[in-house]
Chain A
Amino acid sequence: MTNKTSFLIVWAGLCTFLLSSVLIHSSILRKERLIYVAELAAMARRYGLTDLCLTTEASHTRNPALSDLHSAFQTHPSALEHFPSGSIIVVPPRIKEAPLLKKKD
């Protein structure tokens, strides 16, 4: 019977550990990465950049600064890009991982 109590204590400890480690680590990571973000914010300021480099093929979402408030949902309310399948098709690895310096021969 007593090994049940010790099991419960271990269990409670484990759950607490998992949750608190997430919270603690996240606050550490946040501080780290906010520094990185601050650097980027400085870059945005320097070059006058207004937009994130996401979905560059969707002309009305790359640079929302360029389009009116509704064009992000322009073509169809449920398609941010012309090809809604863009949300479901995975980017092929060769695009994500191609070598940095491509020499054309």
Chain B
Amino acid sequence: MRWIRVQLALLDFALSSLVRRKGRNLSLAAVFCLLVMCFASVVFAVKSLQREAASLLEGAPDIVVQRVVGGRHDLIPVQYLGLIKSLKGVQESTPRVWGYYYDPGSGANYTLMGTRCPDPSLEEGSVLVGSGVLRTFSGLEHGRIILRSAKGSFVSLKLKGTFPSDSELLSSDLVLICEKDLRELFDIPDHLATDIIARVANPAERRKVAEKIYEALPDTRPIQKEEILRTYEAIFEWRGGLTIVVLSALILSFLILAWDKAVSLGPEETQEIGVLKALGWDTSEVVRMKLMEGLLISITGFAVGIFLAYLHVFLLSAFLFEPLLKGWSVVYPRFPLIPAFGVHDLLVIFLLTVGPYSLATIVPHWRTATIEPQIAMRAQK
């Protein structure tokens, strides 16, 4: 009980200490808050993108089989389909016809995905496009899209509709076109396809199936969904790291400032510690009080920083680092981020920010607190 009273008294003094140097302490808290905000924003955004990629691609094909010629991707013979379908574990398998189309007018790449027609939403001679296409493609006129075929002629297709704007993360640059039209456009003969997809319901079997495909068809490369996901994870981790590197200038300068302030206590502070010790405060009590001061500042900065980071990332789409995290492109997708962090993430951020700051605060004060009071008090004379 007595111990609690002493700690409360120390807290009391810590508070009045902070109020005494309001300006300095407020600016320290503000800078700390900014630091936490930047760091937490990166953590939130990266985790969110990873989660979003993983969730979205839940619906992606389990295995994509590509043909590789001389180490490069090539069109795959449709007849490989028979062999793939016959493998145990494969529920369904279809060839995909799709490709990229470069539009010099906008300087952007678009994805043209072929689909079997008639499709409820599409018929031959018409296309569905993503909103990014509408925003940037240069060959649009009177509800039609003009594409240049591989043979040099111009193909005009009707714009049947657009993908909903909130599906931009998947569809922004997408043009859905009937397979027949696409084959004509890209001059892809009927016996070839871009790749073959397969669905393997049992995740444990996927690897086995991929291996079998590779054995049976040595000029192919089966890609599993997990590998695609892992690549995305790596990309976002990498981009997150890049953002932190860019921020590191800010982090470093703050640490240097804090350390510099901390290592050399002013004569006023030194004298104060000497007086406290002379009045009967022992070293641990002085240090504890200073730690409380530091915690009051850093916890405030932490709470506000996390709050601001949340607002920034999830309600303002991380506008400060958007390019760093999403990359640059002409067809720029707009999409909301999903919160994918938990209490443990907040704890980690807490330890990595409040921890070093507290250390930077205690060390010099501890050094001063161990000086004999008389000497410390003389500091002002």
Chain A residues proximal to chain B, CB less than 8 Å: 1, 4, 7-8, 11, 14-15, 18-19, 21-23, 25-27, 29-30, 33-34, 36-59, 61-69, 72, 80-81, 83, 85-91, 95-96, 98-104
Contact = CB atoms under 8 A, between A and B. Distances in A.
Contacts of A14: 303
A33 B336 contact: yes
Contacts of B299: 15
A58 B139 CA distance: 22
B242 A87 contact: yes
Contacts of B239: 80, 87
Interface in B326-345: 326-334, 336-341, 343
A68 B134 CA distance: 31
Given A19-B306, A33-B336, A57-B330, A43 B323 contact: no
Nearest to A89: B328
B59 A51 contact: no
Nearest to A36: B166
**The 6 residue pairs across chains A and B that have the minimum distance between CB atoms:** A45-B59, A86-B328, A55-B327, A26-B339, A41-B59, A44-B59
16 contacts: A8-B15, A18-B303, A22-B307, A26-B341, A29-B338, A43-B59, A50-B57, A50-B64, A51-B228, A53-B173, A53-B333, A55-B327, A56-B109, A88-B324, A91-B332, A102-B140
A100 B90 CA distance: 42
B265 interface: no
Contacts of B328: 55, 57, 81, 83, 85-87, 89, 91
A37 B339 contact: no
A15 B303 contact: yes
Contacts of A83: 328
A64 B170 CA distance: 14
Contact of A55 (B246, B322, B326, B334): B326
Given A4-B12, A59-B100, A47 B326 contact: no
A67 B300 CA distance: 47
B169 A52 contact: yes
B66 interface: yes
Interface of B: 11-12, 15-16, 52-53, 55-61, 64, 66, 73, 94, 96, 100, 108-111, 113, 115, 130-132, 134-136, 138-142, 163, 166-174, 176, 195, 197, 221, 223, 225, 227-228, 231-232, 234-235, 238-239, 242, 246, 296, 299-300, 302-304, 306-307, 310, 314, 322-324, 326-334, 336-341, 343, 346
Given A8-B15, A41-B56, A65-B66, 12 more contacts: A14-B303, A15-B302, A36-B336, A44-B170, A50-B57, A52-B170, A53-B168, A53-B331, A80-B238, A91-B329, A98-B135, A104-B140
Contacts of A89: 323, 328
Contacts of A90: 322-323
Contacts of B235: 61, 72, 80
A86 B331 contact: no
Nearest to A68: B221
Given A18-B307, A26-B339, A80-B235, A48 B300 contact: no
Contacts of A100: 131, 134-135
Nearest to A87: B324
A63 B111 contact: yes
A41 B134 contact: no
Q: Which one of B108, B111, B142 has the highest number of Cβ atoms from chain A below 10 Å of its Cβ?
A: B111
B58 to A, nearest CB: 5
Contact of A19 (B60, B167, B324, B346): B346
Contacts of A18: 303-304, 306-307
A18 B341 CA distance: 16
A79 B302 CA distance: 33
Contacts of A15: 299-300, 302-303
Contacts of A33: 336-339
Contact of A62 (B111, B166, B223, B227): B111
B314 A80 contact: no
A37 B338 contact: yes
Nearest to A53: B172
A31 B220 CA distance: 40
A56 B330 contact: yes
B327 A58 contact: yes
B107 to A, nearest CB: 8
Contacts of A57: 108-109, 328-330
Q: Which one of B113, B327, B334 has the highest number of Cβ atoms from chain A below 10 Å of its Cβ?
A: B327
